[in-house]
Every structure is written in structure tokens, then in C-alpha cells.
Chain A
Amino acid sequence: MELICPAGTPAAFREAVDAGADAVYCGFRDETNARNFPGLNFSREELRTAIAYAKQRKVMTFIAINTFMRAGQETLWHQAVDDAVALGADAVILADFGLMAYTVERHPQQRLHVSVQASASNADAVRFLVEAFAAKRVVLPRTLTIADIARLANQIDCEIEVFAFGGLCVMAEGRCSLSSYATGKSPNMHGVCSPASHVRYRQDGRELVSELGDYTINRFPAGEAAGYPTLCKGRFDIAEERGYAFEDPVSLDVMDHIDALRSAGVSALKIEGRQRGKAYVAEVVSVMRRALTAGAAERPALVSRLKALSEGQKTTTGAYEKRWR
């Protein structure tokens, strides 16, 4: 299985390459990619240098252009694809059908991967993408169990990439407008979720209150680990119940299932975290690289290293196990 690693900056890119990535994925510094966070991402020139660095070390570069084109401003997305192809991207990762159609028409030789944002969660969906756009690989949504993935792999003529570690979307990716409902900025249209521009922390007595737009997302009593106010990871009241309505603030971690994923027919494991620092990238990539070759007995030690870098310092296997549902 290939190890696909995130890079939000050139420094993180080099760390990922040096730490043992088979491929690094990254995006341009604009709304064309789903991690359009302040201070992150690549200029054309930075990407040219990064790709050269990777190529010398036989590492691939995938360029994520995985938001949805805004009507009337398609040129921005078209230009991103044209530039990615010209820069020598080993694959472009796309979510928008209109942009996929453009890519197939203009750059028929370009390898096209389907972003998790496209929400292809079953065999017929993948067939649509293969048939309409000659997709070579699909990144599966984090809504499937390992058994679902194995069954799917047998039915399609397309490589499968799955998320193995990092932040976890509770909602089907690419199909969530919670962020724009509260802030006007959405993953699909602006490449951001629960954007920092709308985040406020405020002290209320002994509690730290995190707010997104006009809404309280959480309150942390003194001493409790605080989290970023990602909307679906907040604490809410439902009838008489108070708690994490959608998901606890945890990270996805499927280290214990590497063998099962391999035999399910998965081609590549993806690490989430283009918004994380280079230290995080270096650590996670090198541990994951070791885990891929280590025996099952050695893995628990590697897992506990990764836990230190997890959001909320707790991990979940998410939808990969049926009882999560």
C-alpha cells in the first residue's frame, strides 16, 4: 500500500518526502483546494520546486483541486488544473464533475483521482466516475466499514485510497453545509470548515468558551483539554442530554487494521492534516511508514506515539468499525 502524506507548506512537503511518503498531496494557495486556510499552501513556484525535490527522490506529488467551481469564476479552477498538469503533477485530486469533465477534455493523459469530497461511497458511484471521467483512483469517504471497502474493491475497476489517520469528518465529506450555515464559508465553495476568521475564545468565569460565528460550540471547565470549535465536534444540548452530539473530539486512527485494509484491496493509505505543522507531518509519516512494515506485535508502541499528536488526545476507528454508527 502506498502512503499518501499531507503538506500545507514547502517545509512540510520536504519533511513528508524525507520521512518516507510514497506520495505527497498539496494544493494551491486559493479557494481551489479544500484546505484553504490562512498562511497555508503553495504558490506555483513553490510547487515547482517541491515537485522537483520529490521527483529526485522518486516520490509522487498529487495536487488537490477539490472544491467546487463557483459559477462565473470557473477560470480559477481551470487554471489550477492547467498549471498542475504543466508542473508535472502525478495526479490531480478532483471533486467537481464540471472540473473533471474539463480535465478529461483538455488533458486526457492526466491521471485523475477522485477526492473524498466527491462522496463516492458505493460501487455504482465509482463506476459513474470511471465511466464519465476515466478516474484511476477514488478516495473513499470515511463512512465505510472495512467489510464495505472489501466488497467495494471487488466490484470496481479503480484503485482505492482510504484515510488512515488524522482529523475525522463525521458527516459525509463534500455534502456538509454546516460551516456555511454558521459562518457563510463552506468546504465546498471556499475550501474552509469552521474558519478561524469566525472563531472566538472567551473566558466566562472558570470556563473557556469557544464560539463560531454567533454560536457557542463548546465550554471547557478549567483543566479540561480544549479543542478548536469545529462545528460537528462541539458540545450541544439535545432535549435533556448534554454532550458531543455528533462526535467526540478525537482523531481517526486505523493502525490496528492495516492488514485488514491491505487484504481488502486498498491501494493507498492517506494521512489527513495539511493544516498541521511540519513537526506533526514528520512524526506521523515516519511512524506510519514504520507501521506499514512492522509486524502486528510492534504496532501498539507506534500507535501510542501517534496518540500524542491527536486532537483531544483520543483516537477512534470511526466508521471502519460498524458499532461507530
Chain B
Amino acid sequence: MTTSVSPSKPALSLGPIYYLWDGPKWRDFYFRIADEAPIAQVTIGEAVCSKRLHFIEPQLGDVIERLESAGKKVSLASLALVTLERESQLVRGLVRDSAHPIEANDLSALHLLAGKPHSIGPLVNVYNGATARLLASRGARSICLPPELPMASVRGIIQDNPGVAFEVFAFGRVPLAISARCAHARSKGLIKDNCQFICGQDTDGLTVETLDRQPFLALNGVQTMSHTCQTLMQELLELAAAGVSRIRLSPQDCDMVAVAEIYDDAIAGRRTIGESLARLESVYPGIPFSNGFHHGQTGAAWVKVPISAEFPVA
């Protein structure tokens, strides 16, 4: 990293809300994003559990309209795990009826979207340039890379695919796994088929601790997330230099407008990386940062990077 590098500045993108929030909370969140957040691209919709869709469906039209009138580009996330016939029908309907680009989160969406411009979500396994090329040849215009990827892979994939816009998962609990079984419902003595939408009680995930009281993971319905918040802030300049087009912020139950402002200020050179990290800490208190995946270490690790350069002031 040197100060002579003046890469084109990446834009901010907001990923789908992975948690179950009730309709009003969900709507108000996006209204505020539309009105206040310096975010260019917003992906909305339910990616985790097909049972939750009815919570947001009534609000969807209003939210899209508000975001678009604020100048945001909107795309819709497809489901990450599609096993039931009903879920297959949902994805088919989404691809058929949507006036907005789709973010594919599983292989069924890849099939249905062939030949149409679309984007690829972080839950599709893109580990190398050849896979990105294959997806691009079928219509993918942008790809949010899996959070597990180390920087060397990010760099290599981007170099191999000059025509594709790449996005990196830079803020939020990491979606680590998904299951046909609902550990969240199970933890409260229920099963998935009769879950009573119990995951809605934990709007920022339900902490899983080890038997030695170490906070470790967070349950979010059928999804398992990291306890830590992946935070690529020290790495922003490096990512920009590597050609990353968008920085993805994944909604947590905290002030995401403030989070977006912090990233925006850092990228615009209005605040130093050090100041920005300190601000983030106060916006999402109590949740440790991690960036180990990016540095090829354990995902939960926090690697302090000596900052040798800052973004030039815009």
C-alpha cells in the first residue's frame, strides 16, 4: 500500500437483511436508508428462510419505491437454500415477475437467470476466476465474493474478470452456514415446521456460547452466523486498489445509516481509518470485529493492520 495509489473509489452497497424483522421495523429501516444513507445499491428480500416471506411482502412495493426515488439501485435476493417445491416456485416466480435485477443465492437461480443480466450473492461458491467467468458468460454482471475468501483470491479473481463488477463483504456478522434444520427453533424446543417464527425474537441473532462461556456463533433461523462482525475497514484502500467496485454492508440491528456514513467518510478521506474504526465500535457496541478470513487466518481473528496510507480527500 502506498500513497501514490489513487484507485477509483468503491461505492457502498447494502446486502439483504438476514434476520427476521417484523414488517414495520423492516419498512422503517429501508425508509431511513432511502432518506439518509450514502448507499448506491440496495439488495432486499428474504434469502434465509422461505417461511418468513409474508412478513415483508406487504411492505415490498413501498420500500422499493422509496429507495428508487432516493436514487438507489435496487435488486432482489433469491433464497439461499431451495429444497421444497414451494421454494422452487418462489424462485421461479421471482425470476419471472421481477422488474428488478435478481441476486442469485443458489444454483436454481443460476439456472433460471441464464441469459438475463443478474448479480451473484455471497452465498454462491465463487472461489476462482474460472467460476466467475462461467457465471459472467451466463449473464452475471456483478459478483459479491464469499466472505471466506482471502485477499489473494479476491485479487486473482478480479484480475481474471475485467468485465465484472466485484463486491466484498465488508461489514456484518458472517453468514457461515445454512441447514435444512432450524437450530434456532430447536434451541427453544420447537421444530422448523412449527417454529412460531421464534427467530423473530432475536433481531440481531441468538448468541451461541461454548461451555466455557465464550461467545462463538449467532443463530439466525436456519442460518448460522459468526458472533463477530466482519469489519474490513483497514483493508478498504487495498480492496479499492485491487479493483473492488462495491463495498457490501450487511444489515445488523444497529444504526446502519451511521455505519454507511462511517464507511463513506473513510472512503472519501474525510476521516482516518483509525477514527472510523473507533466510530464503528460505538455504533455496534459489544460485538468484536473480525477480519481473519481476509488475511487467510481463522475467520474470527482480528488482525491489526498498520495503516500506511489513507484515501485521498475527495
Direct A–B contact in the complex, CB atoms closer than 8 angstroms: yes
Judging by beta carbons under 8 Å apart, are A98 and B88 in contact? no
Residues in A with CB closer than 8 Å to B127 are 68-71, 96, 98, 188-189
User: Per a CB cutoff under 8 Å, which of B83, B148, B160 touches A189?
Assistant: B148
Judging by beta carbons under 8 Å apart, are A319 and B210 in contact? no
Q: Which of B30-38, B253-261, B281-289, B293-301 contacts A (4 or more CB under 8 A)?
A: B293-301
Judging by beta carbons under 8 Å apart, are B177 and A216 in contact? no
Q: Mark A105-139, 1 if CB is under 8 A from B, else 0.
A: 00000000000001111111101110110000000
Residue A215 lies at the interface, judged by CB distance under 8 Å to chain B: yes
Q: Mark A187-220, 1 if CB is under 8 A from B, else 0.
A: 0110000000000000000000000011111110
Judging by beta carbons under 8 Å apart, are B299 and A180 in contact? yes
User: Per a CB cutoff under 8 Å, which of B135, B181, B207 touches A324?
Assistant: B181
* Contact A122:B206 (CB < 8 A) given known A68-B125, A96-B125, A97-B131: no
Judging by beta carbons under 8 Å apart, are A97 and B135 in contact? yes
* Contact A213:B83 (CB < 8 A) given known A97-B131, A128-B107: no
Q: Which of A143-151, A251-259, A285-293 contacts B (4 or more CB under 8 A)?
A: A143-151
Judging by beta carbons under 8 Å apart, are B216 and A215 in contact? yes
User: Per a CB cutoff under 8 Å, which of A129, A131, A142, A174 touches B125?
Assistant: A174
User: Per a CB cutoff under 8 Å, which of A142, A177, A239, A247 touches B299?
Assistant: A177
Binding site of B, secondary structure by majority: helix, strand, loop or mixed? mixed
Q: Which bracket fits the contact residues of A?
A: 35 or more
Judging by beta carbons under 8 Å apart, are B187 and A238 in contact? yes
Judging by beta carbons under 8 Å apart, are B214 and A214 in contact? yes
Judging by beta carbons under 8 Å apart, are A186 and B148 in contact? yes
Residues in A with CB closer than 8 Å to B156 are 71-72
User: Per a CB cutoff under 8 Å, which of B133, B182, B210 touches A98?
Assistant: B133
Judging by beta carbons under 8 Å apart, are B130 and A74 in contact? yes
The residue in chain B whose Cβ has the minimal distance to the Cβ of A71 is: B156
Residue B11 lies at the interface, judged by CB distance under 8 Å to chain A: no
Interface residues of B in 89-123 (CB under 8 A from A): 91-92, 106-112, 114, 123
Residues in A with CB closer than 8 Å to B133 are 98, 101
* Contact A119:B107 (CB < 8 A) given known A98-B131, A143-B180: yes
The docked-state distance in angstroms from the alpha carbon of A213 to that of B214 is: 12
**Closest CB of chain A to B53's CB: distance in Å?**
17
The residue in chain A whose Cβ has the minimal distance to the Cβ of B208 is: A236
User: Per a CB cutoff under 8 Å, which of B80, B81, B107, B148 touches A177?
Assistant: B148
Interface residues of B in 123-145 (CB under 8 A from A): 123, 125, 127-135, 138
The docked-state distance in angstroms from the alpha carbon of A213 to that of B156 is: 29
Judging by beta carbons under 8 Å apart, are A239 and B187 in contact? yes
Residues in A with CB closer than 8 Å to B213 are 237
**Closest CB of chain B to A322's CB: distance in Å?**
7
Judging by beta carbons under 8 Å apart, are B191 and A132 in contact? no
* Contact A74:B216 (CB < 8 A) given known A121-B83, A148-B83: no
User: Per a CB cutoff under 8 Å, which of A170, A213, A323 touches B179?
Assistant: A170
Residues in A with CB closer than 8 Å to B208 are 236-238, 245
Interface residues of B in 257-314 (CB under 8 A from A): 292-293, 296-301
Residue A183 lies at the interface, judged by CB distance under 8 Å to chain B: yes
Judging by beta carbons under 8 Å apart, are A184 and B130 in contact? no
The docked-state distance in angstroms from the alpha carbon of A178 to that of B177 is: 7
* Contact A232:B177 (CB < 8 A) given known A181-B226, A242-B211: yes
Q: Mark B146-187, 1 if CB is under 8 A from A, else 0.
A: 111000111111001000000000000010111111110011
**Closest CB of chain A to B213's CB: distance in Å?**
7
Residues in B with CB closer than 8 Å to A153 are none
The docked-state distance in angstroms from the alpha carbon of A245 to that of B222 is: 12
Residue A42 lies at the interface, judged by CB distance under 8 Å to chain B: no
Judging by beta carbons under 8 Å apart, are A181 and B128 in contact? no
Which of B91, B106, B152 gathers most chain A CB within 10 Å? B106
Judging by beta carbons under 8 Å apart, are B298 and A183 in contact? yes
Residues in B with CB closer than 8 Å to A121 are 81-83, 106-107
**Closest CB of chain A to B111's CB: distance in Å?**
4
The residue in chain A whose Cβ has the minimal distance to the Cβ of B216 is: A215
The docked-state distance in angstroms from the alpha carbon of A128 to that of B84 is: 17
Judging by beta carbons under 8 Å apart, are B82 and A122 in contact? yes
Judging by beta carbons under 8 Å apart, are A182 and B177 in contact? no
* Contact A178:B176 (CB < 8 A) given known A118-B107, A325-B191: yes
Residue A171 lies at the interface, judged by CB distance under 8 Å to chain B: yes
Judging by beta carbons under 8 Å apart, are B180 and A172 in contact? yes
Residues in A with CB closer than 8 Å to B160 are 71
Judging by beta carbons under 8 Å apart, are B111 and A177 in contact? no
Judging by beta carbons under 8 Å apart, are B210 and A216 in contact? yes
Judging by beta carbons under 8 Å apart, are B111 and A181 in contact? no
Judging by beta carbons under 8 Å apart, are B138 and A132 in contact? yes
The residue in chain B whose Cβ has the minimal distance to the Cβ of A151 is: B85
Residues in B with CB closer than 8 Å to A98 are 127-134
Residue A102 lies at the interface, judged by CB distance under 8 Å to chain B: yes
Judging by beta carbons under 8 Å apart, are A128 and B177 in contact? no
Q: Given contact pairs A181-B293, A236-B209, A239-B206, enumerate 5 new A-B contacts (beta carbons under 8 Å).
A: A72-B153, A101-B134, A128-B107, A132-B134, A182-B299
Q: Rank and list the top 4 A-B pairs by shortest CB-CB distance, nearest first.
A: A98-B130, A71-B156, A125-B107, A124-B108
**Can you name 25 A-B residue pairings with CB atoms under 8 Å?**
A69-B128, A96-B128, A97-B134, A119-B107, A121-B83, A121-B106, A171-B178, A175-B80, A175-B125, A175-B178, A177-B146, A177-B148, A177-B293, A181-B176, A181-B298, A215-B214, A216-B214, A236-B208, A238-B208, A241-B188, A246-B181, A247-B181, A319-B180, A322-B193, A324-B180
